[in-house]
Amino acid sequence: MSENVMDLRARAAAALAEAAEAELPNQRERALRSAESWTKMADMRERFGARR
């Protein structure tokens, strides 16, 4: 996976937008979980890159 931090943050933002537009609670929850995961991956990528 060669995504950089900006790509991961963009995916998190897209998931948050999807959650805001979701009509069903389960859709909203899925999108929010996705956004949280993308954000965690971006945070980890930042920390790992900072150690190099």
Domain that holds residue 15: 5-51
Joined together, the tokens standing for residue 44 give 């980890």
Joined together, the tokens standing for residue 46 give 């930042």
pLDDT, position 50: 59
Q: How many domains does the chain have?
A: 1
Q: Give the Å distances, CA to CA, from 35 to 16, 49, 51.
A: 6, 21, 25
pLDDT, position 5: 94
Residue 51 pLDDT exceeds 70: no
Question: What's the pLDDT tens digit per position in 1-50?
Answer: 557 999 999 999 999 999 999 999 999 999 999 999 999 999 999 998 75
Cα–Cα distance, 36 to 38 (Å, whole number): 6
Q: pTM here?
A: 0.86
